[in-house]
């Protein structure tokens, strides 16, 4: 057929020669992978003398050239096998006396047709299948090579040609339901197809048709009884658009479909009152198979027809489309031969039209004629690709053995021989799988969109976070700026303060120098007077001397007075002038003496003042210069001595003012308000030390020092300051007036709070000492109790520190003494406030404390309590009697021992209790 080169390729069509292909079915993969030579390698027909047909160009067929060029196909001759049916029952009988008209030499692929007893012709075929060839072998030699090509993307045709009853349907259409060995080519072909595809992505569809009297009927849908044949003018593809197309999923489905087709064929033929042998049965199988073709094998044309070169190593999705046609032709016998059918001539012509046309086409092709009458029949139109086209075609011609049908057999053989001459140019149809590529790209695009969206979101998040960070940074910068500004102004302020402090220090230093100079001057003054070489010792000497002088003067004056008195008594008033004159002289002398004495007394007073001033200045100077160790402590009557361990802290950066100099004291007190705790500590220590001396106490209180100390107790957060302030208050509390002042300013509350917050027992000692001093004031007894003074004292015993306990004991003793004094004076009655406040157990418990500083105070307190009859029962109940007895026996102080004895003896309650206890005091 001349359309071999007329195939128009479209941009999407890929015609290419055999090449390696992939197959998802691994079991078959290897089988189809090799670029095998076309399975139907041509077998040359024997060119025999007298043979009516000579194969064309045997040499070129013998070595078929595989064309690997892109556009050219693979040369493949139509393969023809002959199959001999065994004698049937009728032939067994009818031809019993005759030999078969054919003789087969399958190993030589030869068939000899006996024309008569003398003449025979031998023909060579591609395969010669004997009457005992199995269906399997027939499939393998006839159909298998076609199937292999079909699965590689080539079109394929398997066709049976022969006289009715020679086994065409047996060869092609047996279903093998009873015996699977009987399965014909259709069933076996589908088995191979299904095994050779990948069901998930490939597809197999089937149409089953009957061509009868140039009408195409659908064997799968009898209602479709005139299906048109459509040819694509571009590709030359033939299709039957109206035909039912069934997708084949499995073998059983296909067998069902064949059965349906067969029964429909039977029904149709019954209806038309004809036989199946008059019609052609056509099974069309379309296969779409996805393969991966290495890119070097592919040039993908773009829409302009230009090649787009893909990068090497990639596998663009490719789909191979192939079509397998299996045709069970109508019987080849001439219809007109058997007039028994009673068909009209036209009808008979029509029945045979397709077959005749096929014969003509095959003749034309075999003879290499330029015109092939392909359009003469529907069959030739349907099979245009099978003979002289691009398909691999295999023809099985069936013959019977009976010599009675020699003519038909001959005709069949000749048909086969001519068909063997037809050369097809096999071309594969590979299409770039735009659909799946599109799908894939679509998915990729979706993924990209999603990814891009994600990235955008991430970007936005990051931007937002950055913005937040930036804002934070801005805020932090602003805060930093503010802080820096604040710091700068703070620094300026501090610098200013620093300068001021330095200036003040400088002033203080100058002042100190001035004072030192003054002191020095005073000392030298005193030395110059030669009355006292050293302020303390020399002035004392001077005073002694002056006292002596004064004493002398006094004695001489007394002497003079005595003389004067004697004179006055002995001499009457009328004494003469001489006596009066003497008296007057004596009186004058006396007056002089008196004046001199007054002068001396004044001088003594002045010197005493000077001495005191000098002593103080000396001490201050000493402490300023080297850190004083004790500030007149030895001379103090107070039990409260400001702790020696801080005194050495005083000094280098603090100059005390002159204490009796009001201005200096004020300055000192103003330092108590300093922001610098160190300065505060040192200032309060100086004040405390000054307060230790009675001489300074009044001035300190006058200058508001006491008030300051109380304020420190209240406000200072530094325990050292509070401790020293409490010490100062204790010192000031030696004075009765100050005691009242302390109480009126809420001192008890402040002291007891200080005690509550104290961590250092020395603080407690100071507080206890202060309260103990206050306890010695008769007028403050009730207020002291009301303000919680006794409670505070008793609370402090918890510290167990002997110094603290001694102060507590002293306070209690002071308090008890005042009480007993009040009772004696009749100013108070009732039970001791100490007992009311619950002090008795502690008193009794510590009456025999091993520390004498504690013991002697308590012993005294007990005695004072015992002195008041009203306390007697409580004392007895608390077990104080035994202690009193012990005191009366053992106390180291005799006066107390005696007092205790007296008390025991004097109280009837004590006496009866002693008797009860059988104690003899």
Query: d(Cα 53, Cα 362) in Å, to the nearest integer?
Result: 13
Q: Quick check: 430 and 155 in contact, CB under 8 A? A: no
* Using rule CB under 6 A, residue 269 touches ligand ADP: no
User: Which lies closer to Mg ion via its Cβ, residue 293 or residue 330?
Assistant: 330
**Which part of the chain contacts ligand ADP (CB under 6 A), choosing from 160-168, 353-361, 574-582, 780-788?**
160-168
Query: d(Cα 670, Cα 711) in Å, to the nearest integer?
Result: 13
The binder of 170, among Mg ion, ligand ADP, none, by C-beta within 5 to 8 A per type, is ligand ADP
Nearest to 767 by CA among 781, 742, 748: 748
Question: Nearest distance from residue 330's CB to ligand ADP, in Å?
Answer: 9
Task: Give, in order, the Cα–Cα distances in Å from 772 to each of 150, 513, 775, 812.
Answer: 127, 41, 5, 7
Query: d(Cα 413, Cα 417) in Å, to the nearest integer?
Result: 6
Q: Is 208 helix (H, G, I), strand (E, B) or coil?
A: strand
Query: d(Cα 748, Cα 601) in Å, to the nearest integer?
Result: 44
Could you tell me if residue 388 is left (phi over 0), alpha (psi between -120 and 50 degrees) or otherwise beta? left
Q: Which ranges in 313-433 belong to alpha helices (H)?
A: 345-366, 378-382, 406-419
Q: How is residue 55 written in tokens? A: 């194969």
Q: How many CB atoms lie within 10 A of CB 793?
A: 31
For ligand ADP, the binding residue among 155, 166, 210, 754 (CB under 6 A) is: 166
Question: Nearest distance from residue 112's CB to Mg ion, in Å?
Answer: 26
The full length of the chain comes to: 921
For ligand ADP, the binding residue among 85, 384, 667, 810 (CB under 6 A) is: 85
167 is in an annotated binding site: yes
Q: Quick check: 792 and 750 in contact, CB under 8 A? A: no
Q: Are strands 79-84 and 127-129 parallel, antiparallel or unpaired?
A: parallel
The binder of 64, among ligand ADP, Mg ion, none, by C-beta within 5 to 8 A per type, is none
Instruction: Tell me, rounded to whole angstroms, the distance of Cα 77 from its chain centroid.
Output: 74
* Using rule CB under 6 A, residue 170 touches ligand ADP: yes
User: Site mask, ligand ADP, residues 86-115, x = CB under 6 A?
Assistant: x-x---------------------------
For ligand ADP, the binding residue among 162, 184, 196, 316 (CB under 6 A) is: 162
User: Site residues (CB under 5 A) for Mg ion?
Assistant: 168-169
Query: d(Cα 427, Cα 6) in Å, to the nearest integer?
Result: 13
Question: Nearest distance from residue 173's CB to Mg ion, in Å?
Answer: 7
The binder of 210, among ligand ADP, Mg ion, none, by C-beta within 5 to 8 A per type, is none
Query: d(Cα 220, Cα 256) in Å, to the nearest integer?
Result: 11
Question: Nearest distance from residue 327's CB to ligand ADP, in Å?
Answer: 12
Taking CB atoms, the residue at the shortest distance from Mg ion is 169
Please list the residues that pair with 285 across neighbouring strands: 206, 324
165 is in an annotated binding site: yes
* Using rule CB under 6 A, residue 261 touches ligand ADP: no
163 is in an annotated binding site: yes
User: Which lies closer to ligand ADP via its Cβ, residue 257 or residue 330?
Assistant: 330
Query: d(Cα 757, Cα 747) in Å, to the nearest integer?
Result: 15
The binder of 86, among ligand ADP, Mg ion, none, by C-beta within 5 to 8 A per type, is ligand ADP
* Using rule CB under 6 A, residue 205 touches ligand ADP: no
The binder of 145, among Mg ion, ligand ADP, none, by C-beta within 5 to 8 A per type, is none
The binder of 162, among ligand ADP, Mg ion, none, by C-beta within 5 to 8 A per type, is ligand ADP
User: Site mask, ligand ADP, residues 276-305, x = CB under 6 A?
Assistant: -x----------------------------
Instruction: Tell me, rounded to whole angstroms, the distance of Cα 921 from its chain centroid.
Output: 87
User: Which lies closer to ligand ADP via its Cβ, residue 131 or residue 431?
Assistant: 131
The binder of 165, among Mg ion, ligand ADP, none, by C-beta within 5 to 8 A per type, is ligand ADP
Please list the residues that pair with 712 across neighbouring strands: none
Question: Nearest distance from residue 198's CB to Mg ion, in Å?
Answer: 35
* Using rule CB under 6 A, residue 167 touches ligand ADP: yes
For ligand ADP, the binding residue among 164, 417, 424, 638 (CB under 6 A) is: 164
Burial of 852 (0-12, 13-18, 19+ CB in 10 A): exposed
Question: Nearest distance from residue 14's CB to Mg ion, in Å?
Answer: 38
Instruction: Tell me, rounded to whole angstroms, the distance of Cα 917 from its chain centroid.
Output: 83
* Using rule CB under 6 A, residue 183 touches ligand ADP: no
The binder of 398, among ligand ADP, Mg ion, none, by C-beta within 5 to 8 A per type, is ligand ADP
Nearest to 729 by CA among 755, 766, 759, 764: 766
User: Which lies closer to ligand ADP via its Cβ, residue 335 or residue 532?
Assistant: 335
Residue written as token pair 């390696």: 20
- Rounded to 5°, the CA angle 449-450-455 comes to 95
* Using rule CB under 6 A, residue 332 touches ligand ADP: no
Question: Nearest distance from residue 168's CB to ligand ADP, in Å?
Answer: 4
166 is in an annotated binding site: yes
105 phi and psi angles, rounded to 5 deg:
-125, 75
For ligand ADP, the binding residue among 42, 76, 165, 359 (CB under 6 A) is: 165
Query: d(Cα 647, Cα 764) in Å, to the nearest integer?
Result: 19
What secondary structure letter does DSSP report for 390? Answer: S
Long-range contact set of residues 507-516: C-beta below 8 Å, sequence gap at least 24: 508/655, 508/667, 509/655, 511/655, 511/657, 512/624, 512/655, 515/617, 515/621, 515/658, 516/621
162 is in an annotated binding site: yes
Query: d(Cα 101, Cα 112) in Å, to the nearest integer?
Result: 8
* Using rule CB under 6 A, residue 265 touches ligand ADP: no
* Using rule CB under 6 A, residue 763 touches ligand ADP: no
168 is in an annotated binding site: yes
Q: Quick check: 381 and 238 in contact, CB under 8 A? A: yes
235 is in an annotated binding site: no
Query: d(Cα 688, Cα 631) in Å, to the nearest integer?
Result: 10
The binder of 290, among Mg ion, ligand ADP, none, by C-beta within 5 to 8 A per type, is none
User: Site mask, ligand ADP, residues 38-77, x = CB under 6 A?
Assistant: ----------------------------------------
Q: How is residue 209 written in tokens? A: 């048709």
Question: Nearest distance from residue 81's CB to ligand ADP, in Å?
Answer: 13
Question: Nearest distance from residue 355's CB to ligand ADP, in Å?
Answer: 13
User: Which lies closer to ligand ADP via its Cβ, residue 281 or residue 797?
Assistant: 281
Q: Quick check: 804 and 639 in contact, CB under 8 A? A: no
User: Which lies closer to Mg ion via its Cβ, residue 168 or residue 421?
Assistant: 168
Taking CB atoms, the residue at the shortest distance from ligand ADP is 167
**Which part of the chain contacts ligand ADP (CB under 6 A), choosing from 54-62, 80-88, 177-185, 466-474?**
80-88
User: Which lies closer to ligand ADP via its Cβ, residue 408 or residue 803?
Assistant: 408
User: Which lies closer to ligand ADP via its Cβ, residue 280 or residue 667?
Assistant: 280
Site size toward ligand ADP, by CB under 6 A? 14
Q: Quick check: 17 and 428 in contact, CB under 8 A? A: yes
User: Which lies closer to Mg ion via its Cβ, residue 278 or residue 523?
Assistant: 278
Applying the rule CB under 6 A, the residues between 387 and 426 that interact with ligand ADP are 398
Does the CA dihedral 744-748-751-757 come out positive or negative?
negative
User: Which lies closer to Mg ion via its Cβ, residue 144 or residue 168?
Assistant: 168
Question: Nearest distance from residue 184's CB to ligand ADP, in Å?
Answer: 9
Nearest to 773 by CA among 735, 744, 820: 735
What secondary structure letter does DSSP report for 7? Answer: P
Task: Give, in order, the Cα–Cα distances in Å from 512 to each of 515, 523, 703, 855.
Answer: 5, 16, 21, 47
User: Site mask, ligand ADP, residues 349-368, x = CB under 6 A?
Assistant: --------------------
Annotated binding site for ATP: 162-169
Annotated binding site: 162-169
Binding interface with ligand ADP (CB under 6 A): 85-86, 88, 162, 164-170, 277, 331, 398
């Amino acid at each position: 057929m001349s359309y071999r080169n007329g195939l128009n390729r479209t941009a999407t069509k890929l015609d290419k020669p055999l090449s390696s292909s992939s197959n998802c079915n691994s079991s078959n993969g290897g089988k189809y992978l090799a670029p095998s030579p076309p399975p139907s390698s041509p077998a040359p027909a024997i060119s025999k003398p007298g043979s009516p047909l000579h194969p064309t160009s045997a040499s070129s067929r013998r070595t078929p050239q595989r064309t690997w060029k892109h556009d050219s196909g693979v040369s493949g001759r139509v393969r023809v096998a002959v199959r001999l049916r065994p004698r049937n029952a009728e032939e067994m009988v009818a031809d019993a006396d005759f030999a078969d008209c054919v003789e087969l030499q399958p190993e030589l692929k030869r068939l000899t047709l006996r024309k008569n007893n003398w003449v025979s012709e031998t023909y060579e075929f591609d395969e010669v299948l004997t009457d005992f060839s199995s269906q399997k072998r027939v499939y393998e030699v006839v159909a298998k090579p076609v199937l292999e090509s079909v699965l590689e993307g080539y079109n394929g045709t398997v066709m049976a040609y022969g006289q009715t009853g020679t086994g065409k349907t047996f060869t092609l259409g047996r279903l093998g339901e009873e015996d699977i060995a009987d399965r014909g080519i259709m069933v076996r072909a589908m088995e191979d197809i299904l095994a050779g595809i990948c069901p998930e992505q490939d597809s197999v569809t089937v149409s089953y048709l009957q061509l009868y009297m140039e009408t195409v009927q659908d064997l799968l849908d009898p209602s479709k009884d005139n299906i048109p044949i459509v040819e694509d003018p571009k590709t030359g593809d033939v299709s039957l658009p109206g035909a039912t197309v069934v997708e084949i999923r499995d073998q059983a489905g296909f067998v069902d479909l064949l059965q349906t087709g067969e029964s429909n064929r039977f029904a149709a033929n019954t209806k038309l009152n004809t036989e199946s042998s008059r019609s052609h049965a056509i099974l069309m199988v379309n296969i779409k198979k996805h393969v991966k073709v290495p890119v070097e094998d592919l040039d993908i044309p773009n829409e302009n027809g230009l090649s787009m070169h893909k990068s090497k190593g990639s596998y663009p999705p490719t789909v191979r489309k192939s079509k397998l046609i299996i045709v069970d032709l109508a019987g080849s016998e001439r219809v007109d031969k058997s007039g028994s059918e009673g068909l009209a001539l036209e009808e008979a012509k029509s029945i045979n039209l397709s077959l005749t046309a096929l014969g003509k086409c095959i003749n034309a092709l075999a003879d290499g004629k330029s015109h092939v009458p392909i359009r003469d029949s529907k069959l030739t139109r349907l099979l245009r690709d099978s003979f002289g086209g691009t398909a691999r075609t295999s023809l099985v011609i069936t013959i019977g053995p009976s010599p009675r049908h020699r003519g038909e057999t001959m005709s069949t053989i000749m048909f086969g021989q001519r068909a063997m001459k037809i050369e097809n140019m096999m071309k594969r149809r590979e299409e770039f799988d735009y659909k799946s590529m599109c799908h894939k790209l679509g998915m990729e695009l979706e993924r990209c969109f999603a990814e891009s969206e994600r990235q955008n979101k991430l970007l936005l998040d990051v931007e937002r976070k950055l913005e937040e960070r930036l804002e934070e940074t801005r805020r932090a910068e602003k805060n930093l700026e503010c802080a820096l500004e604040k710091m700068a102004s703070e620094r300026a302020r501090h610098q200013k303060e620093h300068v001021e402090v330095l200036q003040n220090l400088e002033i203080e230093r100058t002042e100190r120098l001035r004072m030192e100079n003054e002191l020095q001057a005073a000392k030298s003054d005193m030395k110059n007077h030669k009355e006292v070489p050293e302020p303390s010792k020399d002035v004392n000497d001077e005073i002694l001397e002056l006292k002596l002088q004064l004493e002398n003067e006094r004695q001489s004056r007394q002497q003079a007075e005595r003389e004067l008195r004697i004179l006055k008594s002995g001499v009457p008033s009328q004494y003469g002038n001489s006596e009066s004159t003497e008296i007057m002289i004596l009186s004058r002398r006396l007056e002089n003496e008196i004046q001199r004495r007054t002068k001396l007394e004044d001088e003594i007073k002045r010197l005493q003042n000077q001495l005191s001033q000098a002593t103080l200045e000396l001490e201050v100077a000493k402490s300023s210069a080297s850190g004083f160790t004790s500030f007149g402590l030895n001379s103090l009557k107070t039990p409260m001595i400001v702790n020696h361990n801080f005194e050495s802290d005083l000094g280098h950066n603090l100059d005390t003012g002159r204490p009796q100099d009001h201005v200096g004291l004020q300055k000192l007190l103003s330092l108590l308000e300093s922001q610098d705790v160190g300065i505060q500590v040192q200032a309060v220590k100086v004040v405390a030390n000054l307060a230790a001396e009675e001489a300074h106490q009044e001035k300190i209180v006058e200058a508001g020092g006491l008030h300051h100390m109380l304020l420190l107790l209240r406000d200072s957060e530094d325990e050292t300051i509070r401790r020293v302030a409490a010490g100062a208050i204790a010192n000031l509390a030696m004075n009765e007036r100050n005691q009242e002042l302390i109480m009126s300013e809420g001192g008890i509350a402040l002291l007891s709070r200080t005690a509550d917050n104290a961590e250092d027992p020395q603080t407690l000692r100071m507080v206890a000492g202060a309260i103990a001093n206050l306890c010695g004031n008769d007028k403050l007894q009730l207020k002291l109790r009301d303000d919680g003074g006794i409670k505070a004292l008793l609370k402090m015993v918890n510290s167990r520190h002997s110094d603290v306990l001694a102060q507590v004991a002293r306070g209690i003793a002071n308090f008890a003494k005042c009480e007993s004094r009040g009772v004696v004076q009749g100013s108070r009655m009732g039970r001791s406030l100490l007992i009311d406040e619950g002090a008795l157990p502690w008193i009794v418990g510590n009456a025999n404390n091993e520390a004498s500083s504690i013991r002697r105070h308590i012993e005294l307190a007990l005695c004072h309590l015992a002195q008041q009859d009203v306390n007697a029962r409580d004392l007895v109940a608390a077990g104080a009697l035994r202690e009193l007895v012990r005191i009366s026996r053992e106390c180291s102080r005799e006066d107390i021992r005696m007092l205790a004895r007296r008390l025991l003896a004097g109280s009837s309650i004590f006496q009866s209790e002693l008797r009860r206890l059988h104690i003899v005091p």
